[in-house]
């Protein structure tokens, strides 16, 4: 069993607190991703789970047992680092075999010269070589076993780092931004490989990234972090469709969500600065709010309620990203995801409409609030 449970984890470096009250339950065999901006505490959290960093308060349990007092190699967790952390003077086979040698050979069996006198060492090393070969075959790096890390590409180094973790047969894989050093095309390929690897192994994966695309495409669940706290935990679809607050809404999704300042009227309607009504809510009349609209929820429609001026367009082949300024809303700009830019020219005037049912409403504190779309308001929702 490889369930990972965090209870009230906190971490401070002197007077600076980087983690506060982290509670998290990672299920056995789950692929869970910690995502958030740089400096949010996600790498510190995964290092605490690995035993590389002590927590200030709280407890870590793996497989139901507390591991707070255990050293890293005793926790049955394998770490894959952003920098790969391969020994440059050792071959691929040597790098992959090293954790098994440290675990299975005594200190004197690892001493140059003396180790040649040990029949047991020869037997153990043969077993280790077979295990390394089996893992290398699975990762398709067997032809590289005699090479040094300097002779490998970035993707090959990443496979070696994964192989070094896999030979230990850990209960939990911990991965700290392992794809960030790869180019865009190779990242897409390695995302698919990691997903397939997780499916084959059925082992618990805890993955750290600042790239929301990685989080959304690979994970069973995502924990969005900011300022040392978990803001929302759920499936990728949950975080996209029902963000808990403005921070989650802004971070999840590409292109980013369009956000507009709004005000609650006496009739309970949330309206944009130009008077366009979006939703009915129970927020107090006169209070400030924020309306969020994903790019795909907006479209160019003659006679639409929002006057706009096209600033630029991005042709991505199957779709076009249209960037508009809204003259009637101070400082507002929006991105519209469209099938084409037909009928719209740079600098030209246009009118935009949106789907009220796809709108997100946040209160003055930035927290999600319940609402009814403007075109489907029920009488019983009136304040």
Give per-residue pLDDT as tens, 59-107: 999 999 999 999 998 999 999 988 888 999 999 999 999 999 988 888 8
Of the candidates 29, 21, 41, the residue with the CA atom closest to the CA atom of residue 4: 29
Q: Using pLDDT thresholds of 50, 70 and 90, give the confidence band for residue 114.
A: low
Contacts of 121 (CB under 8 A, 6+ apart): 105, 109, 115
DSSP state for residue 139 in the 8-state scheme: T
Whether 120 shows a pLDDT value over 90: the answer reads: no
Domain with CATH 2.40.50.140 in the chain: 256-374
DSSP conformational letter for 111: S
**pLDDT at 375 (0 to 100):** 61
pLDDT range class, residue 115, cuts 50, 70, 90: low
List phi, psi (to 5°) of 276: -65, 120
Domain formed by 256-374, architecture: Beta Barrel (2.40)
State the CATH class of domain 4-246. alpha beta
Say yes or no to pLDDT of 22 above 90: yes
Between helices 92-104 and 154-166, what is the axis angle to 10°? Answer: 20
pLDDT tops 90 at residue 290: yes
176 close to 81: Cβ distance less than 8 angstroms: yes
> What are the angstrom distances between the C-alpha of 259 and each of 162, 291, 350, 359?
40, 6, 19, 10
pLDDT at position 380, please?
42
CA torsion, points 306, 309, 312, 317, in degrees to nearest 10?
50
> What are the tens digits of pLDDT across the range 29-54?
999 999 999 999 999 999 999 999 99
The helix or strand, by DSSP H or E, that contains position 240, with its residue range, turns out to be helix 236-241
What mean pLDDT do residues 164-174 have? 91
Residues ≥6 apart with Cβ < 8 Å to 263: 270, 271, 273, 286, 287, 288, 289
Do 292 and 278 meet the contact criterion of CB atoms below 8 Å apart?
Answer: no
> DSSP states of 124-137 as a string?
HHHHHHHHHHHHHH
Q: Per residue in 130-162, pLDDT tens?
A: 999 999 998 889 999 999 999 998 889 988 998
**Which residues does 106 contact at the CB level (< 8 Å), separation at least 6?**
none
- List of residues 6+ apart from 134 with CB closer than 8 A: none
Distance in angstroms (rounded) separating the CA atoms of residues 99 and 350: 63
- For residues 257 and 259, give the distance between their C-alpha atoms in angstroms, rounded to a whole number: 6
Q: What pLDDT sits at residue 378?
A: 40
Q: Which residue did the predictor score with more confidence, 379 or 98?
A: 98
pLDDT at 332: 85
273/289 Cα distance (integer angstroms): 11
Q: Average pLDDT for residues 263-289, to the nearest whole number?
A: 93
d(CA 329, CA 164): 55
pLDDT on residue 228: 96
Residues 196, 320: Cα–Cα separation, whole Å = 31
pLDDT in tens, 191-248: 988 899 899 889 999 999 999 999 999 999 999 999 999 999 999 999 999 999 999 9
pTM here is 0.86
Q: Is the pLDDT of residue 58 over 70?
A: yes
Q: Which of 188-202, 227-241, 301-315, 363-377 has the highest mean pLDDT?
A: 227-241
pLDDT classification of 1: cutoffs 50, 70, 90? low
Task: Write the CA distances from 237 to 28, 294, 355, integer angstroms.
Answer: 21, 14, 19
Calpha distance 192→194 (Å, rounded): 6
Question: What is the C-alpha to C-alpha distance for residues 287 and 364, in angstroms, rounded to an integer?
Answer: 7
The answer to whether residues 257 and 264 touch, using CB atoms and an 8 Å cutoff, is no
Where residue 339 falls among pLDDT bands split at 50, 70, 90? confident
């Amino acid at each position: 069993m490889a369930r990972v449970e965090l209870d009230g984890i906190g971490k401070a470096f002197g007077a600076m607190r980087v983690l506060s009250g982290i509670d998290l339950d990672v299920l056995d065999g789950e692929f869970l991703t910690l995502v958030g901006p740089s400096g949010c505490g996600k790498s510190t959290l995964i290092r605490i789970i690995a035993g590389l960093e002590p927590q200030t308060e709280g407890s870590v349990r793996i497989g139901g047992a507390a591991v707070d007092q255990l050293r890293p190699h005793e926790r049955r967790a394998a770490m894959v680092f952003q920098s790969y952390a391969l020994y440059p003077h050792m071959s691929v086979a040597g790098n992959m075999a090293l954790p098994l040698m440290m675990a299975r050979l005594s200190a004197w069996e690892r001493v140059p010269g003396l180790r040649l006198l040990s029949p047991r060492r020869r037997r153990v090393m043969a077993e280790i070589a077979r295990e390394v070969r089996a893992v290398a075959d699975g990762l398709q790096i067997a032809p590289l076993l005699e090479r040094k890390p300097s002779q490998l590409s970035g993707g090959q180094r990443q496979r070696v780092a994964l192989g070094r973790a896999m030979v230990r047969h850990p209960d939990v894989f911990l991965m700290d931004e392992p794809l960030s050093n790869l180019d865009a095309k190779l990242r897409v390929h390695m995302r698919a490989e990691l997903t397939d690897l997780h499916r084959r192994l059925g082992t618990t994966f805890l993955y750290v990234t600042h790239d929301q695309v990685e989080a959304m495409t690979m994970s069973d669940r995502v924990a969005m972090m900011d300022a040392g706290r978990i803001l929302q935990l759920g499936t990728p679809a949950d975080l996209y469709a029902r963000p808990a607050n403005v921070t989650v809404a802004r971070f999840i999704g590409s292109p980013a969500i369009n956000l507009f300042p709004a005000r609650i009227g006496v009739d309970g309607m949330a309206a944009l600065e130009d008077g366009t009504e979006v939703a009915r809510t129970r927020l107090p009349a006169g209070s400030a709010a924020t309306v969020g609209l994903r790019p795909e929820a907006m479209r160019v429609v003659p006679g639409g309620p929002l006057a706009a001026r096209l600033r630029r367009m991005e042709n991505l082949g199957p779709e076009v990203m249209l960037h508009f300024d809204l003259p009637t809303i101070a400082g507002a700009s929006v991105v519209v995801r469209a099938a084409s830019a037909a009928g719209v020219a740079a600098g030209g005037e246009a009118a935009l409409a949106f789907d009220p049912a796809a709108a997100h409403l946040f209160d003055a504190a930035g927290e999600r609030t319940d609402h009814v779309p403007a075109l489907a308001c029920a009488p019983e929702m009136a304040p």
